[in-house]
Amino acid sequence: MVFDGPIIQVDRLERRFGQTLALAGISFQVTAGEIVGLLGHNGAGKTTTIRLVLGLLTPHGGTVRVFGLEPTVDGERIRQRTGVVGESPGLDERLTARELLQVFADLYDVPRVVQAQRIAALLEQFGLAEVADRRVATYSAGMRQRLALARCLLHDPELLLLDEPTAALDPVAAHHVRELIAERRREGRTILLATHNLDEAERVCDRVVILERGRVLVEGPPRDLAAALGVPAQVTIEVEPEQVNTALDVLARRGMRAQATPELGRILVEQLAKRAVPDVVATLVGAGIAVYGVELRTPSLEDVYLALHQRTERR
């Protein structure tokens, strides 16, 4: 029977560890084919959420459904359809990549007749074929994470849960892993990506759920969040270098917050709505200032995140 509801449905989910409230009633859902980012700093509740989704932990309140199933009851069936990569790749370094994949193919009930072929294909796809019979202890961090990704695809899962998959990697290896994730998206897999790398989330995710201290602060497509939350754009105006101070005076008289940047002749105007840009330029030109260029930078996910964080801190 094909399940056509949300792949993951989390509703007022709660979980405590002793006196600590790790999740305080979070709700979100992930639909088929989506990549959803679970954002937050360490301790925000990302890993706990993933563990609850997999049925490794029992909720203390609320519900979670994966493929319409309850993880604490049907954890085995959920895990059969889910591939997981943790922050630590969790590879026994004493085994070779091929041995390790053979063990996990058995654990994921991959039929013996297709194992060799599937393992060879994954090793090839993840650029590990030539080192497949070398012990994992000799691998770089990037190779290990690629092997962990290959392992999580052994049973051709519909859902991928990736917990900080690039956290311990150098930029080149992280880029490679992101490309591999993007390929999985093209294959139509559903992905829940826990990360505190905002740039990664912005590039890869269709939607993000921002968690802070076990609560959902906001959720939505990364590009829409800034507008929805009223996080303003930043405008940089390039003027004649000798006229920077005059320009700052003019803007101050108009009640705008502006400052000179370290780059010669450039002024950064904060808290400026996009529609006000022509008016600002007209004012400067009207005051006799030579304006050479205007650069409008839409707020990034990082800006949104920082703005949200500051608001929470103020509360």
Partner 1 sequence: MHWQRVRAIVRKDLLAVRRSRPVLVPLIVLPLVFFLAMPVGFGLLGRFLGEVPDSELEPLIRALPAADRAQLERLEPGQQIAVVLISYQFAPLILLVPLAVATAIAADSLAGERERRTLEALLVTPIRDEELFLGKVLAAVLPAVVIGWLGSLVSAVVGIAVTGVGPPLLPSPPWMLLVGLGMPGIALLGLGAVVLISARVRGFQEVMQLSGLLAMPLIGVMVAQASGLFLIDWRLALLGCVVVWAAAFGILRAGRRLFQREALLRLG
Q: Is 84 in the site for partner 1 (CB under 8 A)?
A: yes
Q: Is 79 in the site for partner 1 (CB under 8 A)?
A: yes
Task: Report the candidate in 46, 38, 157, 143 with the shortest Cα–Cα distance to residue 109.
Answer: 157
Q: Is 74 in the site for partner 1 (CB under 8 A)?
A: no
* Cβ 180 to partner 1 shortest distance, Å: 18
CA distances from 149 to 165, 291, 310 (A): 9, 51, 35
Output the CA torsion 185→308→49→37 (10° steps): 0
The helix-helix angle for 71-80 and 46-54 (nearest 10°) equals: 90
3-state SS class at 195: strand
Residue 100 contacts residue 152 (beta carbons within 8 Å):
no
Q: Is 88 in the site for partner 1 (CB under 8 A)?
A: yes
User: In this chain, which of 69, 95, 260, 306 binds partner 1, going by CB under 8 A?
Assistant: 95
Q: Is 116 in the site for partner 1 (CB under 8 A)?
A: no
Q: Is 107 in the site for partner 1 (CB under 8 A)?
A: yes
Q: Is 58 in the site for partner 1 (CB under 8 A)?
A: yes
Q: Is 93 in the site for partner 1 (CB under 8 A)?
A: yes
Q: Between vectors from CA 175 to CA 85 and to CA 128, what angle results, nearest 5°?
A: 65
Q: Which residue's CB is nearer to partner 1, number 144 or number 176?
A: 144
Q: Is 133 in the site for partner 1 (CB under 8 A)?
A: no
Q: Which tokens belong to 52?
A: 């609850």
| Residues forming the site for partner 1 (CB under 8 A) | 51, 54-58, 75-77, 79-80, 82, 84, 86, 88-95, 99-100, 102-104, 106-109, 112, 135, 148, 151, 161
